[in-house]
Amino acid sequence: MAAIAARRGFGFALPALALLVAFFVMPVMWLLLRSVTEPGLGFQNYATLFGTATYAKVFLNTFMVAGIVTVITLLLAFPVAWALVILPPRWSMVLFAIVILSMWTNLLARTYAWMVLLQRTGLVNQILMGLGITDAPLELVNNLIGVTIGMVYIMLPFMILPIYGVIRQIDASVLQAASLCGATRWQALWRVLLPLCVPGIASGVLMVFVMALGYYVTPSLLGGTSHMMLAELIAQLVQSLVNWGLGGAAAFVLLVATLALYALQIRLVGLPKGAQ
């Protein structure tokens, strides 16, 4: 540390550094320490976590929901990101404003909207019944459908923006060349445009998957008890059961999964924008 501080300017970083060491690094370290010291020294919390069927189901469910949400988000986000680049300016501005507005609208407000829309007597069921698609109202909340709709809704901007960033940089003449060389539109899409989008798609997919893995609010409001996700389990272990050892172990598993995926992202596509 002394060698670093010898150079100029380090002092300016000290207040922020002190804050993060005291209220970020140390609390997290302490939590992880508790996972191997409470109730006794050793890895029994991890053994319980991986050895109990209920907890194993939570892990499986978390990865499954995150995966489903990521795939659907990608399928919806790609056309939007593409259109943002090529639409006439007036329309792309409107579309962009909608994406940004949705991203910054209060999370609880958006989740509340879906709780109301998807309830038994909600608008979605009314429309489905009005169109004759179903006779009786469908159960759309407190299950996988509710979580998926709510999470896709929240994750869309985080997938659209990185893909948009990459498509915007693509030189249009590359695609012109493809068509001059006789490529059909499908060939140009599959063999030129999509491969060029891979960095944006990779960072969007990883960001959405990682965020979905640790999501708490939406799953606990729109999901059912039979589809509990990891973040809810962690909160419940600590809040209701006051089991800091097991809660800390579950938190550590989530943390390792998150950091591993971010490390993968940095390996594949470099640091995310703004972090360089």
Site for another protein in 81-140 (CB under 8 A): 82-83, 85-88, 94-95, 98-102, 104-117, 119, 121-123, 126
Instruction: Find the binder of another protein among 217, 224, 243, 269 (CB under 8 A).
Output: 217
Instruction: Find the binder of another protein among 136, 172, 182, 195 (CB under 8 A).
Output: 172
Closest CA to 59 of 244, 242, 230, 243: 230
Instruction: Find the binder of another protein among 68, 71, 129, 235 (CB under 8 A).
Output: 235
| Of 86 and 198, CB closest to another protein | 86
Smallest distance, Å, CB 102 to another protein?
4
Site string for another protein, 135-164 (x = CB under 8 A): ------------------x--x--------
Report the 10 Å Cβ neighbour count for 252: 20
Q: Which long-range contacts does 165-174 make (Cβ < 8 Å, 24+ apart)?
A: 165/200, 165/273, 166/196, 166/197, 166/199, 166/200, 166/201, 167/81, 167/82, 167/84, 167/85, 167/193, 167/196, 167/197, 167/200, 168/85, 170/196, 170/197
Tokens of 102: 């949705």
Smallest distance, Å, CB 8 to another protein?
5
| Of 88 and 132, CB closest to another protein | 88
Smallest distance, Å, CB 53 to another protein?
23
Tokens of 105: 């609208």
Of the ranges 16-24, 46-54, 61-69, 132-140, which one interacts with another protein (CB under 8 A)? 16-24
CA angle 5, 10, 12 (to 5 degrees): 145
Residue 216 in the binding site for another protein (CB under 8 A): yes
d(C-alpha 40, C-alpha 53), whole Å: 22
Interface with another protein in residues 35-74 (CB under 8 A): none
Q: What are phi and psi of 242, to 5 degrees?
A: 45, 40
Instruction: Find the binder of another protein among 65, 155, 166, 188 (CB under 8 A).
Output: 188
Instruction: Find the binder of another protein among 68, 170, 202, 269 (CB under 8 A).
Output: 170
| Of 8 and 41, CB closest to another protein | 8
Instruction: Find the binder of another protein among 58, 192, 208, 249 (CB under 8 A).
Output: 192
d(C-alpha 230, C-alpha 258), whole Å: 12
Cβ atoms of 72 and 158 closer than 8 Å = no
Residue 169 in the binding site for another protein (CB under 8 A): no
Closest CA to 116 of 229, 222, 228: 222
